[in-house]
Chains A and B, each alone.
Chain A
Amino acid sequence: MSAVVERRVAAPPVPPREPLLPAVRVGPASLVRRPRVLAVTAGFLGAALAVAVLALGVGDYTLTPGQVVAALAGQGSPQDLLVVQTVRLPRVLTGLAAGAALAVAGALLQTTARNALATPDLLGITAGASAGAVAVITLGGRASTAGPLRDVGVPAAALAGAALASAIVLLIVRRSGFAGTKPLLVGVGVSAFFAAVVSWLLIAAPLNDASRANVWLTGSLNQRSWPELWPLVVCLAAAVVVLAPLASRLGALQLGPDLARATGAGVRGTAAATSLVAVVLTAVAAASVGPMGFVALVAPHAARLASGSSRPPLLASACCGALFLAASDLVARMLLAPLQLPAGAVVAVVGGPFLAWLLVVRRRRTT
């Protein structure tokens, strides 16, 4: 067999030319260099960081971007340090991390299901997470406003709800497969079911708890602090570790199960791993900031269209999601200041038209 292979590599001589794909090669490792994806990723990342610096300076106690950077480096008045590092930093970081997590979840599901509409929202995962979190908030009452019930209970319940919802969807579509419209139809049904559970919990709960749950349901970064941030950071780090070896297989999954199998990708294993990562990221993000509707749909689309790829690039999607959520929160804080809108409202108001605009522009270009 090896003789045959070698004979084939020694191809009929081809005149020297530009490489087909430019590559970066270091030792045994190599990577295709995609300048446009890199530029788009850097652009989103830079914009996200700029928004973060702005957001750290905006508020009752205003700082210039220069003062913010100095405060981050540990320089400036004690009050600057307090406001930037203790009060605002966790909130801004939570926004960035939750946006990145939702965007990656959306990108993974869209690629695995080979459907641009396959997002955690439409697949029922977000609704499951909401039901779990609302259950803890309403049934836990006062105890869920602080302490372990808030720090561990809400994320754990959101994760359990998300896992339950995705398990139901997977169980129903396990024979017909994950591609196509069926998972979405099932997901819409599962969403409706969990939305009903949420409604029932809200009606049954005392008014205080119900209104707290309602604020959570809109999606907000108000008063987010380190306890909301840590689960996100841990899960994002874990996602990087899990996804690094899987990222190259996403391209095979995108060709559909037959061709993925034909090119040697373990289809079930890869799809299971990416779906699991997506469910966990969605649940943790929802637990931290509430169900932020459009991020998982819009950010991967924007990243894909901006970079001209056939599937959403993961890193660019993450940076785009971080930018989107951080910017939405900044707008929500500034729009009716000192009144603070929930960021989820801005996400929805900006996200919907933005997506429509993207699709219209895209259509014009292709036809």
Chain B
Amino acid sequence: MSGPGEVDGAGAALGARGLSVQLGRALAVDAVDLEVTRGAVTAVVGPNGSGKSTLLRALGRLVAPTAGTVVLDGADVARLRSKQLAQRLGVLPQGPVAPEGLTVVDLVSRGRDPHRRWYDQWSRADEAVVLDVLARTGMLDLAHAAVDDLSGGQRQRAWIAMALAQQTPVLLLDEPTTYLDVAHQLDVLELVRRLHEEAGTTVLMVLHDLSMAARFADRVVALRDGRVVAHGTPAEVVTPETLRAVFDLEAHVVADPTTGRPHVMPVGRASTGPDGRRGGGAQDDVTATGTRRATS
């Protein structure tokens, strides 16, 4: 398990090698090679049906790849035991739903599952870690509230707290800001950023909003039709040219006056050029089965 990645702390924490995932008849992820930079926040962007969620789910072993491998710290993820993987890699799928009546603390304590034995259900360490993540996500006062009574933003914080309780060096978040208004989106992404800065966690998240991605991520990966079209810093990726190639979008990109990061101001739909591949019906099907609620 001590691969080259573990020795070289600056290298890739998580990587995909020739990763393909077939959903139904369509190839949702098409031979993707990707290195997720250790200790960075990486955002995955792309149009609906571009395979963002499927890529994230494959990296987190929630779907089995049709071809290729996912490598975590030099180890093939497919060979790890479920618990081992969950100790090293946390995944928060899109739009999770808590069972009726489940309290925040009971939900967050599920994040301790990979660390505990069946006869050791609530050790002092579990208590300390859950207390810590509740405090850091600002959920301490709501610890005994039922998750389904919370507002959308609070609920998302509870789920993130659960993923944090796993204490994994790598964390994958699938659209952590879905269904949230702008203020709560900022709130959640600032939380992710702060947690990353405190603990040095490698974060990979799927985001819909390009400006948010540019603002909160160190690296941006742009996908289209299951392939990586661009990968680099926000300034390298969030450009009018890339937006045209990835989203068929004509847009101005200006520097955000507060952060200096690229900010996208859409102009309109770009006419499909000679090499402009429009996402067809097949891709929409992929979205429907792969991410369940991508379009709503």
Q: Which A residues are closer than 8 A to B by beta carbons?
A: 1, 4-5, 7-9, 11-12, 14, 19-21, 23, 25, 28-32, 114, 244-249, 251-252, 254-256, 258-259, 261-266, 308-311
Q: In the complex, are the beta carbons of B105 and A255 less than 8 A apart?
A: no
| Beta-carbon contact of A264 and B86 below 8 Å | yes
CA–CA, A254 and B99, complex, Å: 7
Check A20/B93 contact, CB under 8 A, given A255-B99, A263-B86. no
Could you say which interface size class chain B belongs to?
35 or more
Bound Cα distance from A252 to B92, whole angstroms:
14
Neighbouring A residues of B11 by C-beta, 8 Å: none
A264 → chain B closest CB, angstroms:
3
Query: Nearest-CB distance from B65 to chain A (Å)?
Result: 15
Contacts of A244 in B (CB 8 A): 118
Top 3 closest A-B pairs, CB basis? A264-B86, A11-B132, A264-B114
Is B26 part of the binding interface, using a Cβ–Cβ cutoff of 8 Å?
A: no
A8 to B90, CA, bound (A): 15
Q: Which of A9, A19, A265 contacts B82 (CB 8 A)?
A: A265
The answer on a CB contact under 8 Å between A28 and B105 is no
List B residues at the A interface (Cβ < 8 Å): 57, 60-62, 82-88, 90-93, 96-103, 105-107, 109-111, 113-114, 116-125, 127-132, 134-136, 143, 162-163, 166-167, 169, 199-200
- Would you call B118 and A245 a contact (CB within 8 A)? yes
Verify B83–A264 contact, CB threshold 8 A: yes
Inside 8 A of B120's CB, which chain A residues have their CB?
A: 28-30
Contacts of A265 in B (CB 8 A): 82, 113
Contacts of A308 in B (CB 8 A): 101
Contact of A20 among B92, B97, B118, B143 (CB under 8 A): B143
Q: Is the pair A114, B167 in contact by a Cβ cutoff of 8 Å?
A: no
- Would you call B113 and A264 a contact (CB within 8 A)? yes
Asked if A259 and B167 make an inter-chain contact with CB atoms under 8 angstroms apart, the answer reads: no
CA distance A14 to B90 in the complex (A): 25
Are B131 and A20 in touch, CB under 8 angstroms? yes
B128 touches A11 (CB 8 A): yes
> Is B85 touching A11 in the complex (CB atoms < 8 A)?
no
B131 touches A14 (CB 8 A): yes
Q: 20 additional contacts, CB 8 Å, given A29-B120, A251-B110, A262-B60?
A: A4-B169, A4-B199, A9-B167, A20-B105, A23-B121, A25-B123, A28-B119, A30-B123, A245-B119, A248-B116, A249-B113, A252-B113, A256-B96, A259-B96, A261-B61, A261-B82, A263-B114, A263-B166, A265-B82, A266-B82
CB contacts (< 8 Å) of A263 on chain B: these are 86, 110-111, 113-114, 162, 166
Contact A255 B96 (CB under 8 A): yes
Q: Which of B93, B121, B129 has the most CB of A within 10 A?
A: B121
A252 and B110: CB pair below 8 A?
yes
Contact present for B105 and A21 (CB under 8 Å): yes
Which single residue of chain A is at the shortest CB-CB distance from B101? A310
Minimum CB–CB distance from B259 to chain A (whole Å) comes to 26
Residues B110 and A8 in contact, CB atoms below 8 Å apart: no
Contacts of A246 in B (CB 8 A): 118
15 A–B contacts from the bound complex (CB under 8 Å): A1-B88, A8-B129, A8-B199, A12-B136, A20-B130, A21-B109, A25-B124, A30-B119, A32-B121, A245-B119, A247-B118, A262-B86, A262-B91, A264-B86, A308-B101
